[in-house]
Amino acid sequence: MSDKARLSIQGLWKRFRPPQRRAGRLLSQVGGTTAERWALRNLNFSLPAGGALGVIGANGSGKSTLLQLVAGVLQPTQGTIHREGRVVAILNPTAGFHPDLTGRANIRMLATLHGLSGRDIARRMDGIIDFSGLEQFIDQPLRTYSSGMMIRLGFSTASHLSPDILVVDEVLSAGDLAFQRQAVGRARHLRQEGTALLVSTHSLADLATLCDRLMLLEQGEVLAEGSADEVVATYLQHIEKTGSVISAGLAVPTGMHATAPGNELRLCSVTVNGEQDPKLIEVAGGGALDIELEYEALTPVDDAVFRVQFFRNDGLFVHGHNTVRAGLDIGVLHGRGRVRLHYPDFGLLGGDYYLSAGIWPDEYRSYTTGEAYDHRPSATIVRVGAPRSLGGGVAGFPCEWTLSQDQPAEGQTVPLISGGSE
């Protein structure tokens, strides 16, 4: 490994095998061969001090597996990983924290686990607390924190531990928008101090401004690597070419499965355009979309909020709505009933989207506790067929192009301008 390289990976392969069940013989064998999945295939790259590599790709492409390998959480099946200096990974902002300890005590514990002395921890404590913005709550138990507060504390602590290599998985796109900007700024500062960054996030804009190069993974292999402009263009072209196709039965890329104790209110069915609990529903771009949520309340419930959300295959949250935003007075639910949502002109552009449907105790509690009465994070897949003429991206808006051209002055000519397609 070069003296200037913080991280070097050569010939990296990672294989996952399903759990084996034995009852006199292997039950997971099909045709005599144990099923297995290669999450990464022959990756090779290095990362110098002060360098930043962003990893992008659809869910299941191997991004998180790569970051876990670099962090030491997983071990490679084949190949080598050389690290130089202190590696700090933020794969889960609450990892290493104890819910019954205060925020301050958790900072001390996490810093100690990374080898900092008591004097070093005391010297950094005020900076960590100030960056997190949790001064009023820092001496309260962590179990009283919202998920956003825990993200703040986790990133603030990890980013102040003088990492030589910082591994970040999705945290830069978590939390509120103000903290996202603050976290990206902190990551840039660490780069200037010589920290090598390995980052995965669905925020392509942040990766393009933070990283000097990007790597696009597809089914565990490198599809493209290079400058941000080149790789993002390749990624978007790849998404458009494949139509963001999602195979029916794949797990949703986001959302919690938590259910409130007692399960006194549940979703009985999700009907889309007249089809009950479909695995996949096809909708024309700009066409109507009708969603009906059938529920059953075993006991009276007076705080229910029905929510529908749409996610792209790469995890991007593209649209959502709920009964509170719509001003619908739910009142007290008891027994069976139905809630309907009607889109006269569905605005998502061509591609596949996960439809997430759920019932929550109130509009904002779900974001802090994840507690739902019932939640189907991948109720169905909505496949939108939209022609290219409707535009690019994920949302369509009514629009009209017009052209006006001034006549050239006498003796002048109008230059020929050739325009390209989107």
Q: What tens digit of pLDDT does each residue of 110-158 get?
A: 899 888 999 999 999 999 999 999 999 999 999 898 878 888 898 899 9
Task: Give the residue from 346, 353, 345 showing the smallest Cα distance to 378.
Answer: 353
Q: Which residues contact 262 (CB under 8 A, 6 or more apart)?
A: 299
Strand partners, 284: 385
Tokens of 135: 């001064």
Model pLDDT, residue 386: 79
Q: Is the pLDDT of residue 66 over 90?
A: yes
Give the whole-angstrom CA distance, residue 347 versus residue 345: 6
Q: Is the pLDDT of residue 216 over 90?
A: yes
Tokens 């939209």, residue located: 386
Task: Give the residue from 228, 239, 203, 187 showing the smallest Cα distance to 61.
Answer: 239
Give the whole-angstrom CA distance, residue 325 versus residue 313: 26
pLDDT, mean of residues 6-29:
72
Model pLDDT, residue 253: 39
Domains (ranges, CATH) in the chain? 5-242 (3.40.50.300), 265-390 (2.70.50.60)
- Other residues' Cβ atoms within 10 Å of the Cβ of residue 17: 11
